Structure 1
Amino acid sequence: MDTRVAWRALCAAAALFIGQAQATEPGHELASAQAGMAIGKVEEATQRAYDDALATLDAAIRQAPGDIELAVSRCRFLEFYGNPEGGRWIPAAEDARASCTRELRERWPNAPQVALFEMETLYGEEAAKRGEAILKTADHWPPSSRRELLSQTSTGHEFSGNPERSGELALLAVRLGDASRTGAAAQYLASQKKLDEAAALLAKAAPSENPMDVAARVKAALAFPDPKAGLLQLRRQPKLIEFVDREAAARAYMRVGDFASAQRVLKDVCIKCEATRSLKFEAAMGARDYAGAAKLVDLTDRPNFAGHLSRFTTLAMAAPLTLVSPSMLPGVAICLAWLLVLLLAPGVVLVPAHYRGLARRLKGKASEPLFPAVGLWRAWYAGAVALIVPMLVVLLVRPEAMADMFSGNAAASAQMFRAFLIAEITALVFIVPPLVGMTRRQFLGDRTALRTWWIVLLMWAALLAIGWMLTVVQMRLGVNLETNQTRMVAAMVEGGAQLGGPMLSLLILALVGPVFEELVFRGLLLGGLSRHISFGWANTLQALGFAAMHDDPPRFLYYFAMGLFGGWLVKRTGSLAPAVALHVLNNAVAVGVLLGLR
């Protein structure tokens, strides 16, 4: 394009800007009667400046009709003033921008400049889809144009919730020289565990002028082993710190132990957002601001109950005196009531069973107990232990693990598994007293129990068939098969593998867990019920309790069938061993599948 033409267009744009600035400069003491006149003058000045700039651009295009860059600049100018949501809307520009874009498309249908201009008007998923379609035919584009296309498409994916694809394209754009996507590219590399490559990318990149890119760089650096890496990226542009994502900045400060600064940057951030609330609580706890931390606990917030329960327990363990603070008292009352309900819950089944047993004995229909040493009091104790002890131990050992368990947060899987391991072992210790009086044969079986191995395998095959049919039917009905239970189990398997390898996951989840559950449900609960009611009812009730405890509605019938099968095996053999074998076999296969999917 001719230099003089470009200069004239630039001068016109500058005149427009200056005209607006002068026209919008407020008077010092305008009376209300003069306000209307002032607004009119502003609009007139703006319209004149717009008309002059557009005339200059049109004159330049007449002198260079084949200049595609100049034609795109004119459409971009019209787009700026023709968008009613842009804040500088001029009615005439709204119609002109549509015709300008149409003329561009008709005259240069395959030009990169036109495609990129049209991409500028799109957002989020729409921009991502359009960009992906263009990328398929953009291999011949000049590097600068392809770089811009990659960058715009990456941004579209970012705002449409596809960070992985956004990161892939950002990395390609950065390798072509686009520094504006450095943060997104570094985040992608960090998510792929390529920390050295991500660190090298950030180290050689110049400081960014974009707060969003700075925030992305900080988030990427937070994954590095060096705790100072995030703060280093934050401080590369001191003037931008106040504009950077507050949560990213807070995490950078917290990683180096500067909790006071983290509290400062989070001060005015949304307190009703659960993620922000958790971050504020963590900062307050790090700064030993227990009063401030207590204000972030609200167990009446039902949608976020797990997170508040985690914060309540963490604060109670760290500063017991906060339990008397107004914000903590409702939590104290709720937790005490909750524990009381769990303690009394087994009685919902066991008390009616007791009176039913009395009625049966009066009629001369006394039931034959599976295990003579086990009665309803032991069954009640076992049910209370199963409901209370594991959850209570998890809350005491690692309070934040409770929220992670409910959400299936894989990032905290190792910590969750450690808490679960301690809870499971503690529960096993608590379950020992009511087992006193049971014989070795009732635990380990005899030759009769050993001869049922083929029945165990047959029942296992039946369980697989039930599980397969439930999955097929529910998938066809569009049922979401992912639940808190499935997320938690997957996180536990991952956590055990991280801590001690696959065998540790297998040992705890496929052996210790099944043994505890069989002692509770097929041992103490079934044993206690069978003293008072018929075996059929006793077996059905314990199987229902077993299925309900797993809190996995899509697979409720599967767990119910497993409970029924296990109870029948105990009845047939007089031993818990075959039921334990069936449970272990089932869990071992499930854990093995999850380990194979890692």
Structure 2
Amino acid sequence: MAAVLGLLPIASSFASPTATPANPRLSQEALTAQVDAASLAKYREIVATFDTAIRVHPGDATLALARCQFMQNYSWSEDLHWTEQAQADLGACQHALKDKFGDLPEVALYVLQSTYGKAAIEQGSALEPKAAHWARPDRARLHAALANAYEATQDKRNAGKHAVQAAELSPDTPVLLLAVRHLAATGEKARARQLLMDAPVPKLPWLANARINTAHDVLPGTTARDLLLRMQKAGLKIDPYTSARALLQAGDAAGALRALPEIKPDAPESAQSRALRLTVALAAGDGNAAASAIRSSLEHETNNRWPLAQSYAVLLTIDPRAAMHPAFAVLMLTLLLAGLSIALLPGLLMFPVHYVGTVRARKARPTLAVFEGIGLRHAWYGLAVFCLATWAIPVFMIGQIVPARPGATPDLQELPSRLAIAHVVTLGIVSLLLSGTVRKFGWRQWPGYGEWKVRWFLWPGLLLTIAALSAWVVARHATPGAADSPLWNEILVHGAKQLGGPWFALLMVAVAVPIVEEFVFRGCLLGGLTRHMSFAAANLWQAVIFASVHFDARHFLFFVVFGATTGWLARKTHGLAVPIVIHAINNAIFVTMVLSR
């Protein structure tokens, strides 16, 4: 309206026969001043109309509220030069409105939504007792305003609490996604899903995309895909990358691949989109699509070699012919160098050990090896085989499908089972490659020999008791589905359960893993180290390495203590049977805790 009024003098100026470029009336400042003057005059005219109507109907709260809302439209403008006057008018209008109609819900909520920060929290909290008698939509608006106020002050807990209340009162509340994230973070994922599914379909596609992406990020299973299908059925156009993420999370890799748009020559694509395209192609087993995505990433991302090398490893197992493209030579070299480094690193660790052994021999201070027939080369070989297999097999079977950063949420619903399969293969290959060393080890040293004493088992028993109590506390007080990302060994337990049930999980994690790990770390590593250094140093060294290969910073100290304890038992009993049993009991406690959560 104001713009139309402002254009009338301009039009007449151009129509004037005396109008020339040199005419001062045609300068930008003069024209802008005419627009401002015309719009201000019309603004005042409309305000006067409101004032006249209010004098006739002094008790009409809706009319008084509309007057303030009209002023607010101009008090926030960045284009007009008279916004300060509109702001002054708005302040006076809101003050009068609050004094006269402050008890009415629509007025109280309007004033609250114009307040921010701690002042909004105080004002909104004071309204809560009165709101008990308000209509549901008004109560929802109150809780939504409080949720936004708490969110602005970084109080996530209260923000989420009020957002949930708003969503339960009005499913299409603007703070719906805040409520969903809060419920998911506190373990109430079923309730969060229900809120999303109960909410009316939004009219705007970007709102639908936001809901699907939120479901993907915080809710497991098929919620994101179910929302996607619902939005598509309503006729909304969903972003193809959002569609692909939702379908991939639900396990429909083929559908996710179909959802992605074709790559057009020279078409811009973000690094995140390229990574998604690659993950989808690998999950769908489409070698050509995966190869194309890897080539595209190589062209655009020069500092992303290692994750791409992991993906390339999976491509080698999917489509070896596609993987032989010359552009992938650098990735193949990266894998070869990584594997070589992992295989040689244990050997480098043995050099200082050999030096210590040489010095001790010259000083006539020989050491007593824990196990006969096991030397430093067996220590290197056992550790090299274990580290190389536990790295290479998951990389070639899973690759970049597994998130590379801690805390990331896997996209594939079947990731746990795939990780469990990779672990079974790893255990089998490690056992096969170490079969010769097992024969060298000798069967007599598996059960152990000599006289055992009860007091040797007091500390191990106490350590297992502490582990059991800790697991019980965690299982009892942990919130199911909490925001903390699960450890990989937790995902492994769930994957083993998916493959063969709880008993298979116990068999793999509490039987097979202890046997392999005890032979590698206490049999080969500790046995080899003790030929060249004191038992105390050798035991500490193998315990630290044992803890390091578990990649669990939260429980690193426990792994060190546990590894040192089982190493000490191996020496005392002259065998691996007792360490294996202790290890098996500890892992059984862990499996039971994970499956009971």
Task: Output the TM-score relative to the length of structure 1.
Answer: 0.76
User: Bigger relative contact order, structure 1 or 2, given CA contacts below 8 A and separation 6+?
Assistant: 2
The within-5 A match list for 1:335-484 is: 335-403=335-403, 406-407=406-407, 409=409, 412-446=415-449, 448=451, 452=454, 455-462=456-463
Structure 1 residue corresponding to 2:98, chosen from 105, 109, 113: 105
Q: Indicate the percent of aligned positions where both proteins have the same amino acid.
A: 24
CA deviations 1:505-544 (Å, max 9, x no partner) are 3333333323222111111001111222222222122122
Equivalents in 2 of 1:424, 1:405: separation in Å?
25
Partner of 2:139: 146
Q: Secondary structure at the match of 2:134?
A: coil
Q: Are the aligned partners of 2:240 and 2:259 in contact in 1 as well (CA < 8 Å)?
A: no
Partner of 1:66: 59
AA partner of residue 113 (structure 2): E
Q: Are the aligned partners of 1:414 and 1:498 in contact in 2 as well (CA < 8 Å)?
A: yes
Does 307-316 or 376-385 show the bigger shift? 307-316
AA partner of residue 388 (structure 1): L
Q: Are the aligned partners of 1:154 and 1:167 in contact in 2 as well (CA < 8 Å)?
A: yes
Residue 420 of structure 1 deviates from its aligned partner by: 3.1
Q: Are the aligned partners of 2:307 and 2:400 in contact in 1 as well (CA < 8 Å)?
A: yes
Equivalents in 2 of 1:156, 1:214: separation in Å?
24
AA partner of residue 296 (structure 1): S
CA deviations 1:335-361 (Å, max 9, x no partner) are 332222211111232122223333433
Equivalents in 2 of 1:326, 1:498: separation in Å?
39
Q: Alpha carbons of 1:228 and 1:494: their partners in 2 closer, same or farther (altered >3 Å)? A: closer
Q: Are the aligned partners of 2:213 and 2:224 in contact in 1 as well (CA < 8 Å)?
A: no
Q: Secondary structure at the match of 1:296?
A: helix
Q: Alpha carbons of 1:180 and 1:581: their partners in 2 closer, same or farther (altered >3 Å)? A: same
AA partner of residue 64 (structure 1): H
Equivalents in 2 of 1:138, 1:401: separation in Å?
49
Q: Secondary structure at the match of 2:141?
A: helix
Equivalents in 2 of 1:581, 1:130: separation in Å?
63
Residue 491 of structure 1 deviates from its aligned partner by: 2.8
Partner of 1:12: none
Residue 594 of structure 1 deviates from its aligned partner by: 3.2
Count how many residue pairs are aligned between Structure 1 and Structure 2: 556
Q: Are the aligned partners of 2:144 and 2:173 in contact in 1 as well (CA < 8 Å)?
A: no
CA deviations 1:275-304 (Å, max 9, x no partner) are x443233456668433244323599887x8
AA partner of residue 439 (structure 1): G
AA partner of residue 426 (structure 1): I
Residue 311 of structure 1 deviates from its aligned partner by: 3.2
Matched, 1:210 2:204: yes
Q: Are the aligned partners of 1:231 and 1:252 in contact in 2 as well (CA < 8 Å)?
A: no
| Residue ranges of structure 1 left out of the alignment (5+ in a row) | 1-14, 470-481
CA deviations 1:444-473 (Å, max 9, x no partner) are 235745x55x6335224247669999xxxx
AA partner of residue 255 (structure 2): G
Residue 140 of structure 1 deviates from its aligned partner by: 0.6
Partner of 1:41: 34
Residue 227 of structure 1 deviates from its aligned partner by: 6.6
AA partner of residue 407 (structure 2): S
Residue 397 of structure 1 deviates from its aligned partner by: 1.6
Q: Alpha carbons of 1:269 and 1:167: their partners in 2 closer, same or farther (altered >3 Å)? A: farther
Does 140-149 or 493-502 show the bigger shift? 493-502
Equivalents in 1 of 2:268, 2:150: separation in Å?
26
Q: Are the aligned partners of 1:395 and 1:401 in contact in 2 as well (CA < 8 Å)?
A: no
Q: Alpha carbons of 1:148 and 1:89: their partners in 2 closer, same or farther (altered >3 Å)? A: farther
Equivalents in 1 of 2:503, 2:78: separation in Å?
59
Equivalents in 2 of 1:269, 1:86: separation in Å?
34
Matched, 1:95 2:88: yes
Structure 2 residue corresponding to 1:173, chosen from 169, 172, 176: 169
Partner of 1:248: 242
Q: Are the aligned partners of 2:243 and 2:256 in contact in 1 as well (CA < 8 Å)?
A: no
CA deviations 1:537-580 (Å, max 9, x no partner) are 22122122112222334433322222221111111110112222
Residue 76 of structure 1 deviates from its aligned partner by: 2.3
Q: Alpha carbons of 1:249 and 1:135: their partners in 2 closer, same or farther (altered >3 Å)? A: farther
The within-5 A match list for 1:550-565 is: 550-565=550-565
Matched, 1:81 2:74: yes
Matched, 1:586 2:586: yes
Equivalents in 1 of 2:72, 2:449: separation in Å?
85
Q: Secondary structure at the match of 1:437?
A: helix
Residue 307 of structure 1 deviates from its aligned partner by: 5.1
The within-5 A match list for 1:509-524 is: 509-524=509-524
Structure 2 residue corresponding to 1:233, chosen from 225, 231, 234: 231
Does 561-570 or 19-28 show the bigger shift? 19-28
Equivalents in 2 of 1:354, 1:523: separation in Å?
18
Equivalents in 2 of 1:483, 1:143: separation in Å?
34
Q: Secondary structure at the match of 1:345?
A: helix
Equivalents in 2 of 1:210, 1:588: separation in Å?
51
Query: Alignment RMSD, CA only?
Result: 4.8
Residue 258 of structure 1 deviates from its aligned partner by: 6.6
Q: Alpha carbons of 1:138 and 1:539: their partners in 2 closer, same or farther (altered >3 Å)? A: same
Residue 217 of structure 1 deviates from its aligned partner by: 5.8
Structure 2 residue corresponding to 1:280, chosen from 277, 280, 290: 277
Q: Alpha carbons of 1:221 and 1:557: their partners in 2 closer, same or farther (altered >3 Å)? A: closer
| Residue ranges of structure 2 left out of the alignment (5+ in a row) | 471-482
Partner of 1:271: 270
Q: Alpha carbons of 1:437 and 1:258: their partners in 2 closer, same or farther (altered >3 Å)? A: closer
CA deviations 1:389-448 (Å, max 9, x no partner) are 012111112224532684363764444334334333433333333221223331123574
CA deviations 1:55-80 (Å, max 9, x no partner) are 32233333323322222222222332
Matched, 1:57 2:53: no
Does 144-153 or 522-531 show the bigger shift? 144-153
Q: Alpha carbons of 1:227 and 1:530: their partners in 2 closer, same or farther (altered >3 Å)? A: same
Partner of 2:529: 529
Does 109-118 or 515-524 show the bigger shift? 109-118
Equivalents in 1 of 2:367, 2:119: separation in Å?
69
Q: Alpha carbons of 1:171 and 1:565: their partners in 2 closer, same or farther (altered >3 Å)? A: same
Equivalents in 2 of 1:191, 1:270: separation in Å?
36
Equivalents in 2 of 1:168, 1:513: separation in Å?
44
Q: Alpha carbons of 1:147 and 1:83: their partners in 2 closer, same or farther (altered >3 Å)? A: same
Equivalents in 2 of 1:355, 1:423: separation in Å?
33
Equivalents in 1 of 2:316, 2:443: separation in Å?
43
Q: Secondary structure at the match of 2:373?
A: coil
